[in-house]
């Protein structure tokens, strides 16, 4: 595990303190919990993000906008920590800028949020280029390939089954079903096969509801 779940304060109920404004929350779970602890203790209100996880295509659009339309700085697609679930961009208008800006003028290692395992990266000389771009502290000393940074770290939402999923997710799902006797074929394909033992997806037929007979033979009371 690359991002420590013990070295810094965390808040397990992170959704109370970390809000994604129309952004993808497929971010390293421990990092979300650190951001929540920082919001809880320092900001004392939820922090909002305008960006979390980005697909390659999303990054490409941003890069084109930066390169050719004078848009805000964006990394080359395939080279952003957002694409590797390790960065969140503060949504200024709906967040508490004050505390974050106080960190913005301090170098990494001296920022308040460093105590919560978060740092603002992107120094260009003596200047912070992206005050909104927050990342896990472990990245500060990492010089390797971004795509192999995370190891067995849990990424929020990554184990959710999606339509057309294939491979390892489906295999582990099928293996789990085999264990409880609900599946026979483990092939990584999320479609029941003729020789498999598909799980029942509909409710069992209901017992017919008894109709109340109004016939005197049933309803007659015995007089005592």
Report d(CA 18, CA 32) in Å as an integer. 7
Residue 206 CB, shortest distance to Zn ion, in Å, is: 53
- Taking contact as CB under 5 A, which single stretch among the options 15-23, 41-49, 84-92, 201-209 is the one that binds Zn ion? 84-92
CA dihedral 138, 144, 146, 149 (to 10 degrees): -50
* Closest to Zn ion by CB, 36 or 62: 62
For the chain, the first-to-last Cα distance in angstroms comes to 78
**In terms of CB distance, is 40 or 82 closer to Zn ion?**
82
Beta carbon nearer to Zn ion, 57 or 152: 57
Which one of 80-88, 113-121, 161-169, 212-220 is the stretch in contact with Zn ion (CB under 5 A)? 80-88
Tell me how far, at minimum, the Cβ of 111 lies from Zn ion, in Å. Answer: 16
The helix/strand/coil state of 125 is coil
Q: Which stretch binds Zn ion (CB under 5 A): 11-19, 131-139, 171-179, 202-210?
A: 131-139
- Are 47 and 75 in contact, with CB atoms under 8 Å apart? no
User: 118 — phi, psi (to 5°)?
Assistant: -125, 140
Rounded CA gap, 132 and 123, in Å?
12
65, 70, 7, 60: which is closest to 37 by C-alpha? 7
Q: Do residues 174 and 185 lie in contact, with contact meaning Cβ atoms separated by under 8 Å?
A: yes
Of 50 and 185, CB closest to Zn ion:
50
CB of 135 to Zn ion, least distance (A): 8
Nearer to Zn ion, 70 or 181 (CB): 70
- Residue with the CB atom nearest Zn ion in the bound state: 133
Closest CA to 140 of 193, 96, 86: 86
40/133 with CB nearer Zn ion: 133
Q: Is 89 in the site for Zn ion (CB under 5 A)?
A: yes
Q: Pick the piece of the chain touching Zn ion (CB under 5 A) from 125-133, 153-161, 190-198, 213-221.
A: 125-133
Contact 42, 99 (CB under 8 A): yes
- Closest alpha carbon to 90 in 150, 145, 135: 135
Quick note: the x/- pattern for Zn ion over 132-151, rule CB under 5 A, is: -x------------------
- How far is Cα 88 from Cα 27, in angstroms, rounded to an integer? 8
- Among the residue ranges 130-138, 140-148, 157-165, 171-179, the one whose residues contact Zn ion (CB under 5 A): 130-138
Site residues (CB under 5 A) for Zn ion?
Answer: 87, 89, 133
């Amino acid at each position: 595990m690359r991002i420590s779940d013990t070295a810094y304060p965390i808040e397990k109920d992170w959704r109370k303190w970390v809000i994604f404004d129309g952004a993808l929350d497929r971010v390293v779970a421990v990092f979300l919990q650190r951001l929540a602890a920082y919001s809880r203790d320092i900001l004392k209100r939820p922090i909002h993000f305008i960006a979390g996880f980005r697909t390659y295509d999303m990054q490409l659009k941003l890069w084109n906008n930066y390169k050719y339309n004078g848009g805000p700085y964006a990394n080359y697609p395939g080279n952003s920590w957002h694409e590797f679930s390790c960065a969140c961009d503060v949504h200024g208008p709906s967040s508490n800028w004050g505390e974050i800006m106080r960190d913005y003028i301090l170098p990494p290692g001296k920022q308040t949020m460093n105590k919560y395992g978060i740092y603002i990266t992107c120094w260009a000389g003596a200047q912070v280029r992206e005050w909104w771009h927050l990342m896990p502290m472990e990245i500060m000393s990492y010089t390797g390939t971004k795509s192999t940074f995370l190891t067995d770290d849990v990424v929020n939402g990554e184990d959710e089954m999606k339509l057309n999923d294939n491979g390892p997710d489906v295999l582990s799902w099928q293996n789990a079903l085999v264990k409880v006797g609900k599946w026979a074929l483990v092939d990584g394909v999320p479609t029941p096969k003729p020789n498999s033992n598909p799980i029942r997806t509909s409710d069992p037929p209901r017992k017919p509801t008894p109709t109340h007979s109004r016939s005197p033979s049933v309803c007659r009371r015995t007089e005592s």
